[in-house]
A and B are shown apart, each in its own frame.
Chain A
Amino acid sequence: MSPRFLPTLVRRQRASLKATLLAPPLALAVAIVLNLGLYMLMGRDPVAVVHAMLLEPFLSWSSFSEVLLKTGPLLLIAQGLAIGFRAKVFNIGAEGQFILGAIFASAIPVWFPQATGGWIWPSMLLLGALGGALWASITAFWRVRLNANEILVSLMLSLVAAQLLYYLLLGPWKDPAGFNFPQSVMFQYDAIVPTLFPGTRVNVSLLIALALSLAAWVFMQKSFMGYKLQVGGLAPRAAGYAGFSEGRAIWLSLLIGGFAAGLAGAAEVAGPLGQLQRSISTGYGYAAIIVAYLGGLHPIGIIVSSLVMAAIYIGGDNAMVSANLPIAAVRVFQGSLLLAYLVAVAFVRYRLEWPHAAARSTP
């Protein structure tokens, strides 16, 4: 018995399309208001913060191109994760798969620093994607063969991946001429992906991410395999009776997720960074989880949500400089955005029924 003065959630006859489309922008608005309140409590000027965080990323081509640059990895990782999430496979270890992708891709320029040729950066991307998939396959094996929870295993593997990265950068892969900084040698020209627009850092990997988004859309909406994955997520028992193997769904979800995250990691070192560094990721693997949900786990929605999340990153950088806001504010924004979305999305399936209306409807 819930108290009389509280509204209750009543399941809708069918999911509300209006609520589905309204949920993400509404969540964004709520998150903005909540965070502005927090910044004001911290004594920051809200006008300056709004300007730096929300407007500046879009005000000049140079900063918008940085937004596009950040969109690439978020889009790639989130598309991969969303396929798994739809199948109820919660790979939250994209951060580690991203790191492994970066490590695998760096192997070519680190071991063959003199190599030249147009084949180098494409093979780095491919190798990185395979590295990510390989790292994810450990989780898949543990889940399918040993029945271990994929959330915990994939997360633990991310923490291990970070240590592996430090080991390489402080040991065998450290740049001997790098003044003892934990970073690899700078990559040669052919190990860098071509940029798209002169004067910006936006590169080919954004096009790859968009192409893979299209592929994800076709896979999830049009292919039998994608259909099987989604049925497995919605009704595992029904899927089992229909002969859809749960094990195969888990392998597929994790390998796709790892492949995409590894590709993103490779594109980061072969792109804007140009070397393997300790801070190759600013939590892309975790932010992409939010991007995936905010995009409604839908390939098209994710394109929009990855742009939004990229703008939050760039806006956060701006606010750090001009409004003296610690960069941790971005994490707070990310967390509160997902929470606001989860509340908003509840109204897709449920509607609030206030006590007096309930009294009228029950005779």
Chain B
Amino acid sequence: MSAVEFILAGMLAAATPFLLAALGELVVERAGVLNLGVEGLMALGAVVAFVIVYHGGGHILGFIAAGVSGALLALVFAFIALGFRANQVATGLAIGILGQGLAALFGKSYESLTIKGIGKIAIPGLVDLPVVGGLFVQDIVVWLSLLATLAVWATFAFTRTGLVIRAVGENPKAAHAVGYPVIAVRVAAVAFGGMMAGFAGAYAASVYTPMWADGMIAGRGWIAIALVVFGTWMTGRVFLGACLFGAVSLMSLAAQAAGLNLPSQLLSSLPYLVTILVLGIISADRRLLKLNGVASLGEPFER
């Protein structure tokens, strides 16, 4: 298999944790809330899913429980940041630290154990295509997260729900004046974001690398937040960004396989370096960020 084929085949699976978490954060930010706790939400989801699958609960139950626990921890964020109008940056950081701590605490006795992943589903016909064939052999979660991407995109493009979320994020005072429940919409968005981060963690620990180790999320939650900026709050671009990061995180494996004699630490920092680089490139175009950015992002809402 050539390096290109290898990366294409694995890209979507590697992208899935980024994608799921970033889709969640996209909705949260579109509603005008900045939740920086994604890394902790993912870690918690990862442990919950791992423990359930390890004890024979199965992947479906594992994902559900991870989603629920992510949403619950995100609701703690909502309670403090939206209910008490606390500084969203500080609250998000605290949620991140708490989530990672809880994950390490619950996961202590499961450190470095492994479980069985899930099988892959191939799309007949397309699998046999040269080079890109690998793209069409994916596990069910990958297919579902592609559907989720479409659903988020369609919600913002066509539905009243999407319109309300955007109104609440752009101009909460006006949204309130026309009768939309600003806080309730934001709380729901935060809970959705938490659920998606929980799913992302579950995928990382029970499907992608079916094991748990403290620190295994390794900054993916932060990269997901960065992806929302890269995507300038547009679903399609967030998806492309996630694919880019899926490919980048595979590059270290591909480079090793190709016998490139680079220090493994350099390859491990590649995703972070690329994040810094792309963040600089995208942000330098202030017009682009202003055009699509969420006007009231991070501002508490007061009547």
The chain A residues found within 8 Å of chain B, CB to CB, are: 1-2, 9, 11, 42, 90, 92, 138, 142, 145-149, 151-153, 155-157, 159-160, 163-164, 166-167, 170-171, 286, 289-290, 293, 326, 328-336, 338-339, 342-343, 345-346, 350
Whether B89 and A339, one on each chain, are in contact in the complex, defined by CB atoms closer than 8 angstroms, is no
Given A152-B229, A156-B222, the answer on whether A339 and B105 have CB atoms closer than 8 Å is no
B94 contacts partner chain A, Cβ-Cβ < 8 Å: yes
Nearest chain A residue, comparing its CB with the CB of B219:
A159
Whether B272 and A159, one on each chain, are in contact in the complex, defined by CB atoms closer than 8 angstroms, is yes
Contacts of B91 in A (CB 8 A): 339, 342
Nearest chain A residue, comparing its CB with the CB of B96:
A335
Chain A nearest CB: distance from B39 CB in Å?
9
Bound-state Cα–Cα, A170 to B264, Å: 10
Main secondary structure of the interface of A (DSSP, over half): helix
Chain A nearest CB: distance from B81 CB in Å?
8
Nearest chain A residue, comparing its CB with the CB of B222:
A155
Contacts of B99 in A (CB 8 A): 335
Q: List 19 A-B contacts (CB under 8 A).
A: A42-B105, A142-B276, A147-B289, A153-B280, A156-B222, A156-B272, A160-B272, A164-B269, A289-B90, A326-B104, A328-B214, A329-B101, A331-B105, A332-B101, A334-B98, A335-B94, A335-B101, A336-B94, A342-B86
Cβ contact of A167, chosen from B94, B183, B265, B302, cutoff 8 A:
B265
Whether B93 and A336, one on each chain, are in contact in the complex, defined by CB atoms closer than 8 angstroms, is no
Contacts of A148 in B (CB 8 A): 276, 279-280, 283-284
Contacts of B87 in A (CB 8 A): 342
**Digit string of B202-219 for contact with A (CB within 8 Å is 1, else 0)?**
000000000000100011
B275 contacts partner chain A, Cβ-Cβ < 8 Å: yes
Bound-state Cα–Cα, A176 to B105, Å: 36
Chain B nearest CB: distance from A182 CB in Å?
11
Whether A160 and B269, one on each chain, are in contact in the complex, defined by CB atoms closer than 8 angstroms, is yes
Cβ contact of A326, chosen from B80, B105, B281, cutoff 8 A:
B105
Total contacting residues, chain B, CB less than 8 A: 52
Chain A nearest CB: distance from B239 CB in Å?
19
Bound-state Cα–Cα, A163 to B263, Å: 10
B108 contacts partner chain A, Cβ-Cβ < 8 Å: yes
Whether A163 and B276, one on each chain, are in contact in the complex, defined by CB atoms closer than 8 angstroms, is no
Nearest chain B residue, comparing its CB with the CB of A329:
B105
B266 contacts partner chain A, Cβ-Cβ < 8 Å: yes
Q: Which of B71-100 contact A (CB under 8 A)?
A: 76, 80-81, 84-87, 89-91, 93-100
B225 contacts partner chain A, Cβ-Cβ < 8 Å: yes
Contacts of B55 in A (CB 8 A): none
Whether A142 and B280, one on each chain, are in contact in the complex, defined by CB atoms closer than 8 angstroms, is yes
Whether A149 and B219, one on each chain, are in contact in the complex, defined by CB atoms closer than 8 angstroms, is no
Bound-state Cα–Cα, A73 to B101, Å: 21
Given A92-B93, A290-B94, A293-B90, the answer on whether A151 and B279 have CB atoms closer than 8 Å is no
Cβ contact of B229, chosen from A149, A329, A338, A343, cutoff 8 A:
A149
Cβ contact of A342, chosen from B40, B84, B266, cutoff 8 A:
B84
Nearest chain A residue, comparing its CB with the CB of B181:
A1
Given A146-B283, A335-B94, A336-B98, the answer on whether A342 and B80 have CB atoms closer than 8 Å is yes
The chain B residues found within 8 Å of chain A, CB to CB, are: 36, 40, 76, 80-81, 84-87, 89-91, 93-102, 104-105, 108, 181, 183, 214, 218-219, 222-223, 225-226, 229, 263, 265-266, 268-269, 272-273, 275-276, 279-281, 283-284, 286, 289, 302
Cβ contact of A147, chosen from B89, B96, B268, B286, cutoff 8 A:
B286
Cβ contact of B85, chosen from A1, A42, A149, A346, cutoff 8 A:
A346
Bound-state Cα–Cα, A296 to B89, Å: 15
Bound-state Cα–Cα, A92 to B225, Å: 15
Bound-state Cα–Cα, A326 to B222, Å: 26
Cβ contact of A339, chosen from B98, B268, B276, cutoff 8 A:
B98
Chain B nearest CB: distance from A219 CB in Å?
22
Bound-state Cα–Cα, A163 to B183, Å: 41
Whether A338 and B108, one on each chain, are in contact in the complex, defined by CB atoms closer than 8 angstroms, is no
**Can you add 10 more A-B contacts, CB < 8 Å, to A148-B280, A151-B89, A335-B99?**
A2-B183, A149-B229, A335-B95, A335-B97, A335-B100, A338-B93, A339-B76, A342-B86, A342-B91, A346-B86
Nearest chain B residue, comparing its CB with the CB of A287:
B97
Q: Which 7 A-B pairs have the closest CB atoms?
A: A335-B98, A331-B101, A328-B104, A332-B101, A338-B94, A335-B97, A346-B84
Nearest chain A residue, comparing its CB with the CB of B92:
A151
Contacts of B219 in A (CB 8 A): 155-156, 159
Chain B nearest CB: distance from A77 CB in Å?
14
Contacts of A147 in B (CB 8 A): 283-284, 286, 289
